[in-house]
Every structure is written in C-alpha cells, then in structure tokens.
Structure 1
Amino acid sequence: MFVSYKWLQDYIDLTGVSAEELADKITKSGIEVEGVEVLNEGIKGVVVGHVLEREQHPNADKLSKCLVDLGEGDPVQIICGAKNVAKGQKVPVAKAGAVLPGNFKIKRSKLRGEESNGMICSLQELGIEGKLAPKEYSEGIFVFPADAEVGSDALALLNRDDQVLELSLTPNRSDCLSILGVAYEVAAILGREVKLPEIELQAAPEKASDYMTIVVDAKEDNPLYVAKVIKNVKIGPSPLWMQTRLMSAGIRPHNNVVDITNYILLEYGQPLHAFDYDRLGSKEILVRRAKDGEKFVTLDDTERTLTADHLVITNGTEPVALAGVMGGANSEVTSDTTTVLLESAYFNGATVRKASKDHGLRSEASARFEKGVDPNRVRVAGERAAYLMAKYAGGEVLEGTAEVDVMTIEPAVVSITLEKINRVLGTELSASDVEAIFERLQFPVTVEDETITVTAPTRRGDIKIEEDLIEEVARLYGYDLIPKTLPIGSTTPGKLTEYQKKRRVVRHYLEGAGLYQAVTYSLTSEEKAAQFALEKRNAVRLSMPMSEDRSVLRLSILPQLLEVLKYNNARQNDQLGVYETGAVFLANGTDELPVENEHLAGAITGLWHSHSWQGEKKAVDFYVIKGILEGLFDKLGLADQVEYVQTKVEDMHPGRTAEIRLNGEKIGFVGQVHPNIQKELDLKDTYVFELSLKDVLGAESAPLQYESIPRFPSITRDIALVANKETVSGTLKEIILSEGAPLLKEAHVFDLYEGDKMEEGKKSIAFSLKYVDPERTLTDEEVTKVHTRVLDALKEKAGAVLRG
C-alpha cells in the first residue's frame, strides 16, 4: 500500500512529525514500512512556462522553436521535439541550470543552429512512470490546466513535493488498504483526531429508485448492494490534484468519473464501479451466479467464459460486470456518457477470489474484497463519490439510493481481564492505561472490575479473540517498552553435536575444494531410484505422487546430482563440481516407516585446471576425485583407516571404479560414470562418489599426534616390479610397507608399463621407497638388508619380481 504523506495530512494533523519519523513510528507499532520515497529527490529548477509562440525549426522537420514565458524577465527561446507542443499551452519547463532525475543537468545549448534555454518536459522526464501517465500524455510533453500560474513550482502542482510511504501489510490488516484506515492507525499512534472527508449533497427533485430497481438472487454472496444515479455528467479530465494523487499511489488517471471511483477506492478502501446508465439497456440490476458456459466481454476487451462459481452483475438478462473484479465493455463509461449508475456493494471475499483467480484478473478492487472491506463504509463511500461527481463532473445526484440490504454483520465484542493482559505481556498496566489505548484506537470500551470489554468497529474485522486485544495493547503501548526478562530455571545452552560439527567440517572442506553445494529432490522416478544405490532395497512409493518423475523416495543421491550437471551443461556451464549431504530412504517392510540414512555424494566434470595464458589444461580424472576424498578423510583423521579396492558397480566404468572401505567395511564407492550413461546425459567424462556419511562421521578417529621432523637423512630406493596384470598396486604396496617396517616409511607408485616389451599377461609397476630412522643415520648395509626382505616377500606373496 502506497500512502501519500500530503494526502494523509487531509485527515490527520501531522505537525511536528516528518515522513521518516512517521514511518519509524508505524513500523514500531507493528506495520512494516518498507521505505519512504521522496518524489522530487534530486530534481530542481522546474517551473510552469507559458508557450507564447511556436514555429517550425528552420533546420529540422521534427523540432519546434518556442518562445516561452517563465514568469521572470523576458521570454526565452526553447527548442522542443514533442509533437504536441502548441501556442498557448502551460507546460513544465526545466530552466537552464535545472537538474532532472538521474542527475541530468539542463544547460544552454544550440540545436541545429538555434539557441535553446531549457527544456519543455514530459511526465516521464520528471520521474513519473509512463504506465501511470494519462494516456493523452503517455507520449509528448505534459500540459497544465489553463489556470496554472506562470513561474510557479511545476513539481508542487504535480504533487512531486510529496513523500510516499510503502506499507508492507499482512493479510489481517486490510483496514490499512485505505488512506482513512491508515489515518485511524496514525491517530492511535500519535493520540490525535481523525478528520473525515467532506460530503455535502444537494437535494434533487428525482429519486434514484425511480430510475433503477435492484434484485439480488445470491444474497450470501452479495448481502448489500447500493446504487446511486448521477445525471447530466460531463466527462472530462479529473482535477490535477486528484490525478497526481492517483499516480503517486500507482493508478493511471482516465477521466473524472473513473478517477473518482479509484480515488474513493484508495480513500475509503471501498471498491466502486460506474456504469453508463443509458448503455445498460434496462432499469433493473440483477445480481446472480453466472450460468455455466455464459460468455462475457470485460473492460479489457477479452471474452470470458463463466461458470456457476462466478458472481455477475446483470441488466436482468446479460452480464454487465464480473462482481468485485472488472466491469463489462458493454456498459463502460465513455466520453459520451451523461448519466452514471454508481455501484457500491459488499461482495463475499471467497466468491470474488474464485473469479479473480479463474480469470487471472487480480485488481485493486478484488484484492480488497478478498481481504475484507468495512460493511459500514459501503454507503458513505458511495455518497462521497456522488458528491465528488457533482463537484468535478457537473453531475446532478438523484435523491436516495436503489438498494438491497440483508447485511447482518455486527461489530465483534470481546472481553478480557487486566490480569491476563499483564501476564501475557509481562507488564504492570492499570485498567485506565488499557482503556486509554483502546480509546486512542477509537474502540468503544467498558471496564467493570478487572474485566475489559471492547467493541471492535467493523473496519477492524481482524479483532475477534482475546489475543487480538492483547496484540493491540502491546503494539500501542510499545514493543520496545515491554520488560525484558531472562528465563527462570535451569537451562542448557544450545550447541552443535559432535556429528553436526563434523558434518559442517565436511561441507566447508568440499566447498574449499571447489565444489558447490546442491540441494535436490528426495523424490525421484522408479527407474532412477535404485541407480548407484549402496544398499539394494525396494523403493518406497508415495501413495499419492504428484507425478511419476517424483513418485518414489531415493536410494541414492547421485542420479539427482547428475541431473544438476546435465542442467548446467545444457546452459554452457560445463566445468562444474557439486556435492550434497542428504537422506536416502530404505524400505523397512510394508507397515513400517523407511529407514533414513544420511549420505554424502559428489560429482565433477570438465576441466579441473585451466590456465589459458599458459596453455595449461587438466581435465578431471579418477585421481582428482580420489584426491578430494583423501583430503577429506585426512581432515577427519580417518586417512589411516580408509582403503580403496578395485570393484565393479552397475552404471559405473568397469575399470575406473573403486570401493571405499573404512576399517575393512564398505562405506561407498568412487569412480567414473559409465560412458553409456554419460552419453545419455550428454556429459563429458564425469567422476562421482557416494559415501554413507553416518558411518564416516560416526567413526572414531585416533588422537592427533605430532612427530618431530627427522634430523637424519633418508635413503630412497626405486624398484620396478614385474607382476601379473590382475595384481593390483594396493596389494603390492601393502606387502612393501608391512615387510619394510619400521625403517620403511613411505612407498608410492610412480610408473606403470604394459607395452609390447612385456610378456603377455604381465605388467611393470614402479615404486619409490623411502627409508629413514629418526634417531640416527642409516647405513647402506642396513637398508639393503630390509630392502632384500621386501623383495623376497613380494616374490613369495604376490609373485612379483624385479624387472630385469
């Protein structure tokens, strides 16, 4: 809701309270003010000018040379490119030295050889959005009414010397969807009085009931329908002050009659609709539910197909408006309209919402009916609109109304004890304090002993129960004045569990390694549910799935991560690494809830390093993702307890996949996705892993121990072993380390050869071995003795011999 500070001053005295201070007070009372917009911020030097002469620019077909009186000294020459500039107009002029929105400074210049001393402005150039400008001024310059004073402040005439408060209203505070509603709220905050708008209708010889009869078939949807008739209306522009107020509230001006209905919508929060009486084709208004399949053309020239769920206003036979949403093209007010039938009604919010949603026609009017309008403002809003039509459209308001009234809504009466208010809020308010708060809100209140009885006015339909009264007392007393107390009793400070701490370490590490966290659906399809699953079980199927693609609970996270890579790859983001920690769901019988196990999964594809200026590129491979996992296990203190064993997993590359074991127990796998799956997903080489995070984080890690840096030199020996092709390097490394202990500290593979110079069924694996004693310098004899023992064990246990 946009609230004009100057407009609000019409109904409440804001002396001594700036717009910023008011915004702060409203926010502290419970309604958030998102911001205060200063409409003329950064604009200066714009005045009303009078175009004395206009002639064609001698050197440009699309420019005009204008002589303009600025109300100070001699007239000045201004070159203007607008098509609608003409002699005799009063226009906004940015003088030389003026500043327009965007810090656009106006200087004296020459255009095609002719001097220009300023700029004649359009509304858009003064900061008003084009969609809010009147249609006749959506292009070209703006023209003031003829009575505008030359030399006066153009921004003030356009109401740009105003400030607009943007209120963020919760659904229960529909009372503040009007300037008057905000005035009541501000009056309660400041302790001041509300001044109601002026209504002085002159008596007319004819009666509205002689011109129109109202019949309501759907009384539950429309318990109150009031119609007034205004004759001899002259359609034209509305007053400039009204147009500018509408524009500052986000509504485009049209003509005086339509603008008045919109003005009352903002002023009272009561939607109105004006019909062209002569185009109705009947002297009867019938309000009923639509017929299934009934056709109706709305004001936007769109044909709507109605159903029995929609409420329509008809002329007795055909619809002329979709109740509470939009009028019909067959009865709209036009420039030829002379008699207006003015509708002011109370429509059921649920019925209006149904029609609004079905037809995609959410409007300012429908929003207010949906949230609830004040039934006691229906009549007075119509009277006020009729008064303004008489004043600004020259209309003659016929006496009385044509109406149907079966309204039974009564103000809510709620009682509460003073003890409960103080107990809930922790305050020590007296009965007179509470009574004063409700009087500021203009709620009738009585106090008897300790019981306070409040009658909530119908404009505050949100007041229904005791807790609503407590909230009103709290916010008007001041949330910042409510005492602060510490909880009584023993408390345990919140903290992360060890499991949660370790999970946070995992996330931080993986993000530091360059992977992005993903959050994917736990629901998947039957085909993908068991893909890559660490534990094979039946998938848990939803009894009412929203789609077959989201019909079962996942057994693995990887299928969803591969979809993430596919989605990004299709958008040219083909170098990506992602991970996710989340639950998988294992069936536990037909009558039991599934078991939820937390897993960790990751997937990477594309280039891992790319230095274009060096020409260096490194694609992701098995050792990149294995290295990430090794770093993770090292971070968790589990590096010595983890081993990798070659394995085969369905949908994984048969030669580039390893099982991950923790203390001899399988906890997951790592490797490359099978080329067929990569092709289906249109991915390059993609490497993945999935672990049982529960097992990883639940494992005990050895206490951290430090070793001194060796003071004595180490001895390195390289060996090339000939072994069977089936023999894995991990087996050989395990033999080397076990037989070489305690002097042998490190062993790693640095070469593999399977070329044509090796006999069939054999391969060559080269290891680098490092011997060291922290207490002394080793001799060659000591190293040779251990080294020989290692080679003998390799030959005996694995059939591996030194390459000749």
Structure 2
Amino acid sequence: MNVSYQWLKEYLNLDEITPDALADKMSRTGIEVEDVFYGETGLKKIVVGQTLSVVDHPDSDHLHICQVDIGEGEPTQIVCGAPNIATGQKVIVALPGARIVGNAKIKKSKMRGEVSNGMICSLQELAFSENVVPKKYAEGIYILPEDAIPGESVFPILAMDDAILDLSITPNRADALSMRGVAYEVGAIYDQKPEFKDFALNEAADDTIENYLTVDVLTKEDAPIYTIRVIKDVKIAESPMWLQTKLMNAGIRPINNVVDVTNYILLEYGQPLHAFDYDRLGSKEIVVRRGNTGEELVTLDDKKQELTSEMIVITNGEKPVALAGVMGGLDSEIIDQTVTVALESAVFEPISIRKTAKALNLRSESSSRFEKGINKATVIEASKHAASLIAELTGGTVVSGVASKGELKAIDVALNITLERINGSLGTDITSSEVVAIFQRLG
C-alpha cells in the first residue's frame, strides 16, 4: 500500500513530523514501512511551459519546432518529436542543465539543424511508471491543466513534492489498506483524532431508482449486502489534477472522472466499488448468483474468462456482466459516450473472491481487499461519497434512492483479556487507562 504523506495531512496535523520520522514511528508500533519515496528526487530544473506555436521541422517527418513560454519574457525554441504536441498546450519542460529519469542531463543542442533549448517531457521521463501513465498520454507528452503557470516548477502540480510511504501490509491488517485506516493508526500513535471532510449527497426529487433497476441476490452468504445507485446525465472527461495525482502516487492509472472516483474511494475507505454503463447493461435487473459451468465473460482487460460454480457473478438477469469483487465486464464498462452510471457497493464472500482471483490469475485492488475483509460500517457511506463526487465531477445528477438487497449491521467486537496478559505478551508495563486510551484513539 502506497500512502501519501500529503493526503494523510488532510486528516491529521503532521506539520512537526517529517515523513521519515513518521515511517520510523509506524514501523516500531505495528505496520512496517519498507521505504519512503520522494517523486522529485534526482530531478531538477523542470518547469511548466506553454506552446505558443508548433510547426513541422523542414528536414524531418516527425519532429516539430516549438516556441515555448517558460516564464522568462521571451519564448524559447524547443524541438519536439511527440505526436500529440500542439499549439496552446501547457507542457512539462526540462530546461538546459535539467536532470530527468536515469540522471540524464538535458543540454542545449541542435536537431536536424534547428536549435533546441531543452526538452518537452512525457511522464515517463520524470520517472512515472508506464503502469500509471494515462493511456491518452502513453505514447506522447503529458498535457498539464490550463491553470498551470509557465515558469513554475511542475513538482507541486504533479504531486511529486509528496513523500510516499510504502507499507508492508500483513493479512491481519486489512484496515491499513485504506487512507482512513492508516489515519486512525497514525492518529493513535500521535494522540490525534483524524478529521474527515463532510460531503453532501443531493438526490433528484423527481426521479427514483425504481425507474432504473431492481436487485436480487440468490444466495445471501455470497453478498450479505448489495447496493446500486444511479447517476444520470454525466459527461465523461479527464479527472482534475488533484485526483489523477492521488491515484498515480498510489500506483493506479487514471482512466476518467467516473472510474477514477471509484478508485479514489477504494483508496480512502478501502471499499471496492464498480461503475457500470447503465445503458449497456441491457436490462433493468441486477441478479447476483454463482456462475454456471460453460459461461464466459470478457473482463475489462479484454480477456475471455471461463466461469465456474465457485465464482460469484453479477448478471443482468440473464448473462454475467462482472466478476463480483474481482473485475468488471468489458461490455458494460464506462466509455466516453456513457451518460448514465450504475454504481455498485457491496460485501462479497471473501473465500470465493480469493478462489476466483487465483483461478483466473486476476488479482486486483478490489479482490485483495475483499479477500482480507473490508470495513462493513462504511459500505453505504463510501457509496454515498462516490455518488456525490461523480455528480460533482461529471455534472450529473444522483437519482433518488438505492436499489439494494440484504442488510448488514456492523457490530462492535468484544473480547476478554487481562492486563497481565497484555503486558506479558508485549513486554510492557502499561495501565488499564492507557489501554483504554489507545483503543479510543484507534476509534
């Protein structure tokens, strides 16, 4: 689990605590931190540029001569070979003397006879993994948001000034597979209570979920609770920079403003969600059942999966549209033309999820959390938060109500243990009041 130090600071006061000190403290109190990464390490002199003009190089069939505003009054000339370069873009510029990935130094040079005062960069050239670069920019340069200011450092914009704590999560610490869970852990260490921002869920008064979907679960144990919300009139687009950088720092590729919200909520709450294109479901019915031998499903990775009776599947009443808790189906994925989203939030039987992921060699962020156990107290809250964010980022409207099956009450766990046993196991000499205080800080 990659944990953003800056994201943690949204919940806790860490102003007097450095990332390295935090990592050391966490490793000595329960969760091992394998390393602390700083995105900008080894990189320098990399700024925002704006392309004022882009013309074809006279002696090349793929190079372009660009006049770029780098905040120095006069534009500078840079030769660029990216296929997606165009006039009016905010781009990443490595100035002469800059260091990029692999400690490569950028120099003023000539390319086919034309002077190039630096380099217009892709994310990969700033050490971003291929796995997290948005597919739109995988073969070219990355386009920065419109409000980026020429001449300013790109590191804060891309959240490369953040520190990322690489947590080694053991199976018994599923709570630490979420930012909120880690915030409680850190809060307990430093005697702080995490504070989470409120959100508002505004639902349409003139449209209800009954107009869209019904839900049924054939075996209660497979999905003790299964819920669907609908968000209509959405407009699919790129996510804002704050959301993209949170996902990339966590090792997740940004896709679009709907899918990215589901992954953001997965990271914040530890609650896997799935977004269907409602119009591509081909039905007003969702049925959760076991797969039938011989059934097939093409998953989001464009691979055909052969299903068995051990696998829990989400169906449109007739055919599977998703592998429960593992991966969605390609035929109902969110696409650029999506206008109505069906948002799933549920609890699935962990052993079946583990067996399915293993049998198909299809482990995902979702399956890893369902396998270890999710926080059942926030299944509904996570769905509400996601619906609210999707509506905000897409301009859509949340339909009133929830289509659901099952009920799940989060019950506090009680156990009996003596203070002598605690101190004997830990080699400590803490008091009963200290034990109570620690549990209270953990929430």
TM-score w.r.t. the length of structure 1 is 0.54
| Cα distance in 1 between the residues matched to 2:17 and 2:282 | 53
Question: Residue deviations 1:402-441, cap 9 Å, x none?
Answer: 1112325522111323343334445433222222222222
| Cα distance in 2 between the residues matched to 1:279 and 1:433 | 55
SS state at 2:370 partner: helix
Question: How far apart are 1:341 and its partner, in Å?
Answer: 0.3
Instruction: Specify the code of the residue in structure 2 equivalent to 1:336.
Output: Q
| Cα distance in 2 between the residues matched to 1:185 and 1:42 | 31
Matched residue, 1:333: 334
Matched residue, 2:38: 38
Matched residue, 2:269: 268
Matched residue, 2:437: 436
> Would you say the 8 A contact 1:78–1:117 is kept in 2?
yes
Percent identity, please.
Answer: 54
Matched residue, 1:376: 377
SS state at 1:157 partner: coil
Matched residue, 2:305: 304
Q: Which range moves more in the overlay, 39-48 or 303-312?
A: 303-312
Instruction: Specify the code of the residue in structure 1 equivalent to 2:271.
Output: Q
| Cα distance in 2 between the residues matched to 1:330 and 1:87 | 36
SS state at 1:251 partner: coil
Tell me, yes or no, if structure 1 residue 136 matches structure 2 residue 140: no
Question: How far apart are 1:271 and its partner, in Å?
Answer: 0.5
Question: How far apart are 1:58 and its partner, in Å?
Answer: 2.5
Structure of larger gyration radius:
1
SS state at 1:140 partner: coil
Question: Residue deviations 1:60-114, cap 9 Å, x none?
Answer: 3321111101112211111111121111111011112222122222222222222
Tell me, yes or no, if structure 1 residue 154 matches structure 2 residue 160: no
| Cα distance in 1 between the residues matched to 2:262 and 2:82 | 32
Question: Residue deviations 1:227-268, cap 9 Å, x none?
Answer: 110000101111112111111111111111111111111111
Matched residue, 1:395: 396
| Cα distance in 2 between the residues matched to 1:99 and 1:425 | 48
> Would you say the 8 A contact 1:285–1:313 is kept in 2?
yes
Instruction: Specify the code of the residue in structure 1 equivalent to 2:188.
Output: A
| Cα distance in 2 between the residues matched to 1:31 and 1:335 | 40
Matched residue, 2:279: 278
Question: How far apart are 1:150 and its partner, in Å?
Answer: 1.9
CA RMSD of aligned residues (A): 1.4
Instruction: Specify the code of the residue in structure 2 equivalent to 1:98.
Output: A
For these two proteins, the number of residue pairs brought into alignment is 442
Matched residue, 2:82: 82
> Would you say the 8 A contact 2:26–2:33 is kept in 1?
yes
Matches within 5 A, 1:727-766: none
Relative contact order, CA 8 A, sep 6+: which one is greater?
2
SS state at 1:256 partner: coil
Matched residue, 1:60: 60
Instruction: Specify the code of the residue in structure 2 equivalent to 1:412.
Output: V
Instruction: Specify the code of the residue in structure 1 equivalent to 2:240.
Output: P
| Cα distance in 2 between the residues matched to 1:286 and 1:129 | 38
| Cα distance in 2 between the residues matched to 1:427 and 1:95 | 56
| Cα distance in 1 between the residues matched to 2:277 and 2:147 | 30
Matched residue, 1:522: none
Question: How far apart are 1:302 and its partner, in Å?
Answer: 2.1
Question: Residue deviations 1:326-383, cap 9 Å, x none?
Answer: 1112211111100000000000100111111111111110011001011111111111
Matched residue, 1:324: 325
Question: How far apart are 1:190 and its partner, in Å?
Answer: 0.9
Instruction: Specify the code of the residue in structure 1 equivalent to 2:110.
Output: K
Tell me, yes or no, if structure 1 residue 120 matches structure 2 residue 115: no
| Cα distance in 2 between the residues matched to 1:81 and 1:423 | 66
> Would you say the 8 A contact 1:53–1:67 is kept in 2?
yes
Relative to 1, partners in 2 of residues 1:428 and 1:122: Cα closer, same or farther, differing over 3 Å? Answer: closer
| Cα distance in 1 between the residues matched to 2:275 and 2:424 | 52
Tell me, yes or no, if structure 1 residue 25 matches structure 2 residue 25: yes
Instruction: Specify the code of the residue in structure 1 equivalent to 2:123.
Output: L
Instruction: Specify the code of the residue in structure 2 equivalent to 1:308.
Output: S
| Cα distance in 2 between the residues matched to 1:298 and 1:219 | 25
Instruction: Specify the code of the residue in structure 2 equivalent to 1:382.
Output: S
Matched residue, 2:93: 93
Question: How far apart are 1:59 and its partner, in Å?
Answer: 2.6
Matched residue, 1:498: none
> Would you say the 8 A contact 2:269–2:382 is kept in 1?
yes
> Would you say the 8 A contact 2:227–2:402 is kept in 1?
yes
SS state at 2:201 partner: coil
| Cα distance in 2 between the residues matched to 1:146 and 1:428 | 58
Question: Residue deviations 1:269-299, cap 9 Å, x none?
Answer: 1110001111111111111111222222222
Question: Residue deviations 1:669-725, cap 9 Å, x none?
Answer: xxxxxxxxxxxxxxxxxxxxxxxxxxxxxxxxxxxxxxxxxxxxxxxxxxxxxxxxx
Matches within 5 A, 1:159-308: 159-205=159-205, 206-308=207-309
Matched residue, 1:722: none
Question: Residue deviations 1:153-196, cap 9 Å, x none?
Answer: 21211111111111111110011011111111100111112122
Instruction: Specify the code of the residue in structure 2 equivalent to 1:86.
Output: A
| Cα distance in 2 between the residues matched to 1:144 and 1:43 | 18
| Cα distance in 1 between the residues matched to 2:388 and 2:152 | 30
| Cα distance in 2 between the residues matched to 1:238 and 1:122 | 18
Matched residue, 1:345: 346
SS state at 1:230 partner: strand
> Would you say the 8 A contact 2:203–2:397 is kept in 1?
no
| Cα distance in 2 between the residues matched to 1:426 and 1:2 | 31
Instruction: Specify the code of the residue in structure 1 equivalent to 2:285.
Output: E
| Cα distance in 2 between the residues matched to 1:193 and 1:304 | 45
Matched residue, 2:4: 4
Instruction: Specify the code of the residue in structure 2 equivalent to 1:94.
Output: A
| Cα distance in 1 between the residues matched to 2:364 and 2:111 | 45
Matched residue, 2:413: 412
Question: Residue deviations 1:555-593, cap 9 Å, x none?
Answer: xxxxxxxxxxxxxxxxxxxxxxxxxxxxxxxxxxxxxxx
Tell me, yes or no, if structure 1 residue 313 matches structure 2 residue 314: yes
> Would you say the 8 A contact 1:131–1:138 is kept in 2?
no
Relative to 1, partners in 2 of residues 1:426 and 1:4: Cα closer, same or farther, differing over 3 Å? Answer: closer
| Cα distance in 2 between the residues matched to 1:430 and 1:355 | 46
Relative to 1, partners in 2 of residues 1:112 and 1:271: Cα closer, same or farther, differing over 3 Å? Answer: same
> Would you say the 8 A contact 1:198–1:384 is kept in 2?
no
SS state at 1:434 partner: helix
Relative to 1, partners in 2 of residues 1:201 and 1:406: Cα closer, same or farther, differing over 3 Å? Answer: closer
Matched residue, 1:626: none
Question: How far apart are 1:392 and its partner, in Å?
Answer: 0.8
Question: Residue deviations 1:110-160, cap 9 Å, x none?
Answer: 222221111111111111112211111111111112222222221211111
Instruction: Specify the code of the residue in structure 1 equivalent to 2:355.
Output: K
Question: Residue deviations 1:584-621, cap 9 Å, x none?
Answer: xxxxxxxxxxxxxxxxxxxxxxxxxxxxxxxxxxxxxx
| Cα distance in 1 between the residues matched to 2:269 and 2:419 | 34
SS state at 1:234 partner: coil
| Cα distance in 1 between the residues matched to 2:304 and 2:322 | 12
> Would you say the 8 A contact 2:377–2:409 is kept in 1?
no
Unaligned runs of 5+ in 2: none
| Cα distance in 2 between the residues matched to 1:200 and 1:408 | 23
Instruction: Specify the code of the residue in structure 2 equivalent to 1:349.
Output: P
Instruction: Specify the code of the residue in structure 2 equivalent to 1:119.
Output: M
Relative to 1, partners in 2 of residues 1:94 and 1:314: Cα closer, same or farther, differing over 3 Å? Answer: same
| Cα distance in 2 between the residues matched to 1:428 and 1:4 | 34
Instruction: Specify the code of the residue in structure 1 equivalent to 2:319.
Output: E
SS state at 1:420 partner: helix
Matches within 5 A, 1:231-630: 231-407=232-408, 410-442=411-443
